[in-house]
């Protein structure tokens, strides 16, 4: 039945379904905790976010070399489940400490930093694994459907938060994420067996090799990887501006942990529902025939236009609309196309350079964005000034995206088209 909607071949069917479930459980688990994290981050005031982002960046600088050391020595079928179960044990530890109420303020800040590291790490590892598991041609056909597992997981996770945050309490939601993370680890094992038996040559499952700092070295010596890193920087900096604006809006309309958790979940739920509708009925029909350049250009263009609109009318309804349009463009078009580009690089670049870009570079851009927002606000320009200051960044982001779309032909041998989703013509997250 799946073959009626997705261009999947018989020998790929099991891998695609396991990959869908894998991404579903990762994103569902994270989005169960994301509103909890956001509430904890704003409990001490929006001004604390910049310090939390800086702490996250410092932790990431330590974690990424440790991960590089693991993938250099051990095969992926051991490393990825080990990383996920390490995070699972961390979750159980936070659950116990938060339930006991020990140093709740300090633990809340530590949880915020930890989940910010966890989020980027587990998703980066997922896409590195996908880029290693499937070749470029398969990625163009299958990554759209696999990405849809993430969209489904996000919606289910947010619905669970909205329904359970008040009766169970935010802390108890941690146990659901822990269970889902174990399912993710099981999916990795199943996919590794499939790769061994059906898809990959024996060398693909071997350790990656290389040094602990290889990710940074690869990024510094490859214009292609550097461009991917800059694309991430501009997306992350503009995202941090939107995040701070969201935190300020929520702070004005909700008080108390459960109320703020529910408010963040409601905003995120509306964003994801609208994103999914746009993916299904708009983006695919408008963009699917225009190629990689158009697919990668939409997100920066919408960011520039959306920021100008919010600077003029800073309303919650418009904020949700801007986040939805931008989210649909990024997750339905730009992100899947970017992940297909990673299928054209070496295994060391997939696991180390990509991990460095998705974690250290992303969180470093968060820090830059947070302190930039503070600096512009300190000049008395307010939220409108911050948003307008980001418009030139959207222009630079667009320039980098056009560079990547041109060089995809050189790296991959052929231009990469936008990805088909569940419906067959609309890409999905």
| Mean pLDDT, each 10-residue run in order, the chain (429 residues) | 70 89 94 78 60 83 80 78 92 89 77 86 85 78 80 87 80 91 93 76 53 71 89 91 79 64 72 66 56 83 92 84 82 77 76 80 84 77 83 93 73 46 35
Q: Is there a domain that residue 206 lies in?
A: yes
58 part of a folded domain? yes
**Does residue 427 sit within a domain?**
no
Token pair recorded at residue 181: 């993370």
Is 426 contained in some domain?
A: no
**CATH code where residue 199 lies:** 1.20.1250.20
What pLDDT does 256 receive? 62
- Domain-embedded: residue 418: no
Do the domain assignments include residue 106? Answer: yes
* Residue 419 belongs to some domain of the structure: no
Q: In the prediction, which pLDDT does 419 show?
A: 45
The domain containing residue 327 runs over which residues?
Answer: 2-412
Q: For 161-221, give the secondary structure using H, E and C.
A: HHHHHHHHCHHHHHHHHHHHHHHHHHHHHHHHHHHHHHHCCHHHHCCCCCCCCHHHHHHHH
Assess if residue 417 is contained within a domain. no
CB burial of 20-38 (b: ≥16 within 10 Å; e: otherwise) equals: bbbbbbbbbbbbbbbbbbb
Best CA proximity match to 347, nearest among 217, 195, 210, 230? 210
Domains contained in the chain, number: 1
Q: CB pairs under 8 A, 24+ apart, for 61-69?
A: 61/360, 63/117, 63/121, 63/359, 64/215, 64/355, 64/356, 64/359, 64/360, 65/212, 65/213, 67/121, 67/355, 68/210, 68/211, 68/212, 68/213, 68/214, 68/215, 68/351, 68/352, 68/355, 69/212
């Amino acid at each position: 039945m799946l073959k009626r909607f997705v261009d999947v071949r018989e020998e790929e069917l099991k891998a695609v379904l396991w990959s869908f479930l894998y991404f579903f459980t990762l994103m569902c688990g994270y989005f169960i905790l994301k509103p909890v994290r956001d509430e904890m981050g704003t409990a001490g005031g929006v001004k604390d976010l910049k310090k939390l982002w800086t702490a996250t960046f410092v932790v990431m600088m330590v974690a990424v070399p440790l991960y590089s050391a693991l993938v250099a020595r051990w095969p992926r079928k051991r490393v990825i489940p080990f990383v996920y179960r390490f995070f699972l044990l961390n979750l159980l530890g936070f659950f116990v400490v938060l339930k006991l109420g020990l140093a709740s303020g300090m633990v809340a800040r530590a949880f915020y930093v930890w989940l910010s590291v966890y989020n980027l790490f587990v998703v980066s590892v997922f896409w590195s694994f996908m880029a290693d598991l499937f070749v470029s041609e398969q990625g163009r056909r299958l990554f759209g459907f696999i990405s849809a597992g993430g969209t489904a997981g996000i919606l289910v996770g947010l619905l669970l938060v909205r329904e359970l945050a008040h009766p169970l309490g935010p802390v108890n939601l941690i146990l659901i994420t822990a269970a889902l993370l174990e399912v993710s680890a099981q999916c990795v094992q199943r996919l590794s067996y499939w790769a061994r038996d059906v898809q990959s040559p024996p060398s693909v499952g071997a350790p990656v090799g290389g040094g602990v700092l290889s990710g940074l070295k690869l990024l510094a010596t490859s214009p292609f990887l550097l461009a991917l890193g800059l694309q991430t920087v501009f997306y992350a900096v503009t995202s941090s501006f939107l995040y701070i604006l969201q935190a300020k809006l929520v702070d004005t309309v909700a008080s108390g942990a459960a109320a703020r958790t529910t408010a963040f979940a409601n905003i995120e739920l509306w964003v994801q529902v609208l994103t999914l509708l746009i993916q299904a009925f708009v983006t695919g029909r408008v963009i699917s025939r225009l190629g990689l350049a158009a697919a990668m250009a939409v997100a920066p263009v919408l960011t520039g236009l959306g920021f100008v609109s919010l600077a003029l009318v800073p309303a919650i309804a418009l904020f949700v609309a801007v986040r939805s349009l931008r989210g649909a463009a990024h997750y339905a078009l730009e992100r899947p196309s970017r992940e297909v580009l990673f299928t054209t690089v070496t295994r060391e670049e997939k696991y180390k350079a990509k991990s460095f870009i998705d974690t250290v570079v992303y969180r470093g851009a968060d820090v830059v964005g947070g302190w930039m927002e503070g600096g512009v606000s300190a000049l008395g320009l307010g939220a409108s000034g911050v948003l307008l200051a980001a418009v030139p960044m959207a222009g630079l982001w667009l320039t980098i995206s056009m560079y990547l779309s041109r060089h995809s032909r050189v790296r991959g041998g052929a231009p990469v088209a936008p990805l088909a989703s569940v419906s067959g013509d609309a890409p999905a997250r």
